[in-house]
Amino acid sequence: MTLEILTSDLLSPVRHGFFSRRGGASSGIFAGLNCGQGSSDQSGAVAVNRARVADAMEVSPTELVGVHQYHSADVLTVTGPREDKPKADALVTATPGLALTILTADCQPVLFADRNARVIGAAHAGWRGALDGVLEATLDAMEALGARRADTVAVIGPTISQGAYEVGPEFLDDFMLEDSGNTRFFANGNGDRMLFDLPGYGLHRLRRAGIGQAEWTRHCTYSDAERFYSYRRTTHAGEADYGRLISVIRL
């Protein structure tokens, strides 16, 4: 099966892709293009998958630059290939040939570009990172490299949609502390449960930060098991582990 690479006209002509799970070498619960080196999948299969991604992006596997994601607002500025993975949840660069990568399995993968300044970014924005400001921090780091916020565009890739993201009342409290207007990102669920609109919140934070344009690809990771990995779906199914989707952007 060939790779499936989702793209957005908003980011064109910058080379980028939100990769689905199709076209990979992994099997079992990881079946497909699992690019998570931290998963319990066979390391050889993950290496093959990452090599296929690198080939599709026309870079070497060593030029796929990532970070050790931990739901923070920390951003790494990258100037060349690196073997280590510092703790951070976003990357930015103005160096041609480097491919910035983010791994997700329900959280938002967000790709950024200022085509005029030739500065790009990639962020992992789960609810905690988005609430703590990882999207704004990515824009700040891009500006430090010469980007202009008003010239920057961002695209949110496949992520969990509101209809699949049930949360408890204590979850709402965290968002109310940040802004009482955040109630608009919550809908009623069963009993005291609520449904949270993660991509809607991500778009709100980007637009409030003054970004030029932003959109969501409108793909839900939870509801489309054939195309996407989902941490929440795996948890509900009682499976031992889950694959990670990769999103990539390069100059």
Q: Express each pLDDT in 127-171 by its tens digit.
A: 999 999 999 999 999 999 999 999 999 999 999 999 999 999 889
Above pLDDT 90, what percent of the chain?
96
Q: Does 3.60.140.10 match the CATH number of domain 5-158+216-250?
A: yes
pLDDT at 1 > cutoff 80: no
Confidence of residue 3 (pLDDT cuts 50, 70, 90): very high
Contact status, residue 81 vs residue 63, Cβ threshold 8 Å: yes
Confidence of residue 71 (pLDDT cuts 50, 70, 90): very high
What's the pLDDT at 142?
98
Rounded to whole angstroms, the Cα distance separating 161 from 42 reads: 30
Report residue 203 as tokens.
């778009």
What's the pLDDT at 102?
98
pLDDT at 219 > cutoff 80: yes
Q: Express each pLDDT in 171-210 by its tens digit.
A: 999 999 999 999 999 999 899 999 999 999 999 999 999 9
Q: Express each pLDDT in 107-131 by its tens digit.
A: 999 999 999 999 999 999 999 999 9
Q: Can you give the pTM of this predicted structure?
A: 0.97
What's the pLDDT at 82?
87
Domain ranges of the chain: 5-158+216-250
Q: Express each pLDDT in 15-54 by its tens digit.
A: 999 999 999 999 999 999 999 998 999 999 999 999 999 9
- E-state strands within the chain: 5-6, 15-19, 64-65, 75-77, 90-93, 99-104, 108-114, 119-125, 153-156, 166-167, 186-188, 194-196, 213-216, 245-250
Q: What is the pLDDT averaged over residues 216-241?
A: 96
pLDDT at 216 > cutoff 80: yes
- Edge-to-edge strands of the sheet including 153-156? 75-77, 90-93, 119-125, 108-114, 153-156, 213-216
- Cα 76 to Cα 2, 39, 132, 207: the distances in Å are 32, 23, 16, 22
